[in-house]
Amino acid sequence: MDDLDLRRHLPGDLSQLFADDAVGRALSVTLPAGDVVWPDPGYPQRQLLMRPAFWVSDEPVTADLWPRVRAEHEASGLWPLLLDDSDQPWAAGQVAPEPVADVDNYAPAAFMYEVWADWADQADEEEHEDLAPYGRHCPGPAAPGVPVDDPGAMADRHARHLASRGLSLGLSAVDRGADALAAVGWQGALNHNEWTAPLAAVVRSWEDRFGARVVGLGFNTLDLSVAAPPVTTRHAVHVAAEHWAFCPDILFQGPGTLAGYAEEIRGKTSWSFWWD
């Protein structure tokens, strides 16, 4: 078998991440020591997964590894993630994977309207002012942004920045980064929404409209790069409304108003979310 034949296979146990045993998949990047992670059988699960949920490196990785793996995503089928172990060790397998096919069942606009309606029914008039100029009335998804750079190149830069925190590398067998939220069993927004698939559907929409890419995950955090951010105040306020429906804590435990949060994200090429 020659070198070319060897490069046609995924290294180590990575083929276990795929239902089809990774037929036709290839990865030429040399990976650090690591292992596949199976969901903890004693942890509440949402589906019976007959294969590992993801792969994770044993140690933090260098800043150049994430971009190199991302560049081969089309050939490998593996989306890289920078995983923060500070609050919960990913290797412990305390995750609850959901079928990626479930993401197709959710419409981002419907999710936004549902969150908004539930809040509007319980909020008082003073709280409605926090979401001015929309108040009780959900504006729906914002218009797409105008790209300022290639989404992949933007993601690579953001990944190099995040890697300086000393994060591990995760690999998820998905066609697009947004789907990794469901595939790896991330539950960072559990206090906001019981299921992860609807949130993955929202991130898919951001991939399409704003050139967003999933770069990092923590126990209750999500880091995205953004290649087409809102640059006007009006557009930023509309996008801020989407962010609020996706992650209310960033507003109510942050600047407090859509207008204040909009100024934080206007023109910014990365979005970070956290759930309490």
- DSSP state string for 193-219: -S-SHHHHHHHHHHHHHH-EEEEEE-S
Residue with tokens 């992670």: 37
Q: How far apart are CA 141 and CA 113, in angstroms?
A: 9
Res 202: pLDDT: 98
pLDDT at 191: 87
* Closest listed residue to residue 126, CA positions, set 266, 263, 245, 256: 256
- How far, in Å, are 34, 37, 57, 214, 256 from residue 91 at the CA level? 10, 6, 9, 20, 36
Smallest CA-to-CA distance from 186 within 87, 263, 265, 72 is with 87
What DSSP state is assigned to residue 134? T
Residue by residue, pLDDT tens for the chain (276 residues) are 344 444 458 999 999 999 988 889 999 999 999 999 999 888 887 777 789 999 999 999 999 999 999 999 999 999 999 999 988 899 999 999 999 999 999 999 999 999 999 988 888 877 788 899 999 999 999 999 999 999 999 999 999 999 999 999 999 999 999 999 999 999 999 889 889 999 999 999 999 999 999 999 999 999 999 999 999 999 999 999 999 999 999 988 889 899 999 999 999 999 999 998
Alpha-carbon distance of 127 to 113, in angstroms, equals 17
- Predicted pLDDT of residue 131: 92
Q: How many CB atoms lie within 10 A of CB 15?
A: 17
Amino acid occupying residue 51: R
Identify the CA nearest to 209 among candidates 137, 272, 274, 271: 271
The pLDDT of residue 44:
80
Contact present, 174 and 183 (Cβ < 8 Å): yes
